[in-house]
Structure 1
């Protein structure tokens, strides 16, 4: 007689597991490699993550495993089910997840692995060459273990016919580090931002409330997963809601339009950076009239489209609305604080505004003199934020932690903001590079950029200050043109701006480039641009 065997998996007391158990048979992750689509439901993701957990515990243990503390696990994987399985296995073993950028060279990966003191590297076989390079770069490889994610290993549960899941009755310490995300390093070497399980769950609850996340949502991700935008706003929100997550390996405008135009028309959310929307607009204008009509209609499937990680030029806001009917929802956040300001899900959205505080966010605004001007409208000051979603600090960097928080525990964002009469905020830029001091005036580089981008032949621009003995700083403008054959000079630009900006806000120097250098998130590093100009 055949005996029916079943196996009960105990899951940590984390919000993400509650959502997944409630949606076991739903598609969790959809990805495509070499034109072959792969769909994995929540149940399979949980089973595979449990299998990987057992492999991890054999290599490095876990929290409560032989009384060892949590460890950092670095992960090098494409955006697919292996990435999600790695994440859940890391948390299941009580360890801390460190996502690596797949396009970084071995030397950059080495810095993050060594700085985070990672004890294990999980990797997909397609990165085997990079892993071999890493092994040559890392001096003390005896302290690091390596596990290939897609290797064929025999399950410990061979013969089991049914696997079920249950949340453990044991309390789990949510103050443990869950993720370390490395900043882009605009002020030196990248710093590791530590987010605990408490931080992450607070961020997710806030975003679910602000953006109306539901289990029937389906989001397409085109963003890299070693940054907060793709990792938290897209991947974590989907997992913690029980929504479906479709992942592209990188971004190509033509491929994204093809996906938008598929017969299924089942996507509900899309989040991207301004550069991505700009490229989608360019690709749209290359289409035939019939394809443009089809593409416009395809955008009706979305209930929400969001832009973030960089200032959204008004021209892109307006062009995308004309194509899609969507007023892009702008929001503001950082790796260290998550999302803290956002435009309304339902209601009027205005280009250039990043809205009001998200649920659970406390904030204050300080003048240059350190005076609290939080309740004063139309005054410029540095934004400071506090709340459960704010990072506990930087990994192994007491100096940065001391400098980044005030005596009340507010995080100093370094961003200059202004609150309008309507209560909504505008970001005027980074205190260090986007606020230009000229002849006793303080000028917002972002304000100047918005006006310059209204010129017909300007595709991109970047404005910053350069030291000047007479005025303190002079205003430099870099532009990329739509059509390089058309005349474009400083006189022409200054004439265009003369009735739009005060005379002292108009750039004194113009440089026309073929391309403005950006990082993988489409952000411009103005400190590097200053060096380039010098």
Structure 2
């Protein structure tokens, strides 16, 4: 999986001057490629006999070397969010069977042994490449439907995903990849860090993903979630500083069309949007050489198949309008939920299609638009199937709206009533009329609630189930 990193650090290549002095910059520390391999291999020697370890995934050089060491040794690791609550952390450690903390240790270490990462230790022992089907990591879901589930992700899945994205984005070792995202999710860890290790490009982690930090990083390839891009678009000077970049990538949630358009205007770049999940990694993306349409996440990556079905399993037409359940068959799919054969069986159909839980539309050209989660973004009102995202996009086009989330709430007459929660200074009735002018009458909100802020998780995703409880 670390093909580019290890190949580039053959001792003869290093002696010939092919090392890269600033392969990774993070938390004030700069690591060369030889640092990554030498220190990572030193870590590998200390964890090689472990069955599984936990890594407190702070944005530090310690985390980078802990992850690298596990990959070299072939030891599965569990990235643990630094800000996770005590109850959830105890569940992650117990459920995963982690035997030790590798690297940093939280204040409450749950009684596990500690294996330190020694920043200046070096080893040049060569490990054989582990079996591609072996588990590289166990990444836990957000736990929105109960306790978080451990998603087992193989080395082959990660390699397949990075290689497919490299093809779609023309991502090469000459890039400098910049982001300030957490290292315990797919976006920041798999794409950002592991992608850079495999491709061989420079990797810069900005710490907090502020507009100023992004503007000063000097990257060619930038990753961000919509909240990050919204703040950059609002900072004209920072946005214009990114005009020298090659590619801006947005994911983990839908990018509002006004932000998309502001980025085009200020940077000269139409951002790449893509879709994925912990279970599938990234499976759909707009391409560097293809159409980039606001609100649409593009085409399946190489090797990925997608389909839309209705509640009975029948195909949904690819007409750009009809909403269906999105299912995926891909070499990037996870190998199962840890200790949950029941949940694993429920997630796949008999032919190996993964039920994503998301609803989407596909147009005649194969472009995908994600409507959202079937449980909260598909609203069934008055006999109609309505996507919350379509209404949110329209509302974000109103000058009095800064943020919005649309949900369906129980209604005795309609089944579900459309309610919009809005951060802004517009009048509620004005917004209802605004939607009715642009969409079908049955898609207008029946109620608009003005709020100071919307609940979001660490990746900027809206927590719509909380909004339903607010109502």
TM-score range, shorter-chain basis? over 0.9
Work out the number of aligned pairs and report it: 465
Residue in structure 1 matching 2:6, options 7, 17, 20? 17
Residue in structure 1 matching 2:113, options 145, 156, 159? 145
Per-residue deviation, 1:20: 5.1
Q: How does 1:226-305 map to 2 (within 5 A)?
A: 226-257=184-215, 259-260=216-217, 265=218, 267-284=219-236, 292=237, 295=238, 297-305=240-248
Structure 1 counterpart of 2:456? 518
Structure 1 residues 384 and 237, CA gap change in structure 2 (3 angstroms): same
TM-score (norm 2): 0.93
Aligned to 1:432, the other structure's residue is in SS state: helix
TM-score (norm 1): 0.82
Residue in structure 1 matching 2:315, options 365, 368, 372? 372
Q: Are 2:428 and 1:490 equivalent residues in the alignment? A: yes
Residue in structure 2 matching 1:45, options 26, 30, 36? 36
Unaligned runs of 5+ residues in structure 1 are 1-11, 63-70, 158-162, 285-291
Aligned to 1:414, the other structure's residue is in SS state: strand
What is the CA–CA distance in structure 1 between the aligned matches of 2:413 and 2:175, rounded to whole Å? Answer: 57
Structure 1 residues 230 and 429, CA gap change in structure 2 (3 angstroms): same
Aligned to 2:100, the other structure's residue is in SS state: strand
Per-residue deviation, 1:25: 3.3
Q: How does 1:18-417 map to 2 (within 5 A)?
A: 18=7, 21=10, 24-32=19-27, 37-57=28-48, 61-62=49-50, 71-124=51-104, 130-131=106-107, 133-134=108-109, 138=110, 141=111, 144-150=112-118, 168=128, 172-257=130-215, 259-260=216-217, 265=218, 267-284=219-236, 292=237, 295=238, 297-373=240-316, 378-417=321-360
Per-residue deviation, 1:416: 1.3
Per-residue deviation, 1:376: 6.2
Structure 1 residues 174 and 330, CA gap change in structure 2 (3 angstroms): same
Per-residue deviation, 1:423: 2.3
Per-residue deviation, 1:176: 1.3
Aligned to 2:166, the other structure's residue is in SS state: helix
Tell whether the 8 Å contact from 1:19 to 1:239 is kept in structure 2 after alignment: no
Q: Could you report, residue by residue, the CA deviation over 1:168-223 in whole angstroms, capped at 9, with x for unpaired residues?
A: 4xx63221110111111111111111101111111111111111111111111210
Per-residue deviation, 1:498: 2.1
Per-residue deviation, 1:367: 1.7
Cα RMSD (Å) = 2.2
Tell whether the 8 Å contact from 2:178 to 2:214 is kept in structure 1 after alignment: no
Per-residue deviation, 1:93: 2.6
Structure 2 counterpart of 1:68? none
Rg comparison, structure with higher value:
1
Per-residue deviation, 1:297: 4.9
Structure 2 counterpart of 1:531? 469
Unaligned runs of 5+ residues in structure 2 are none
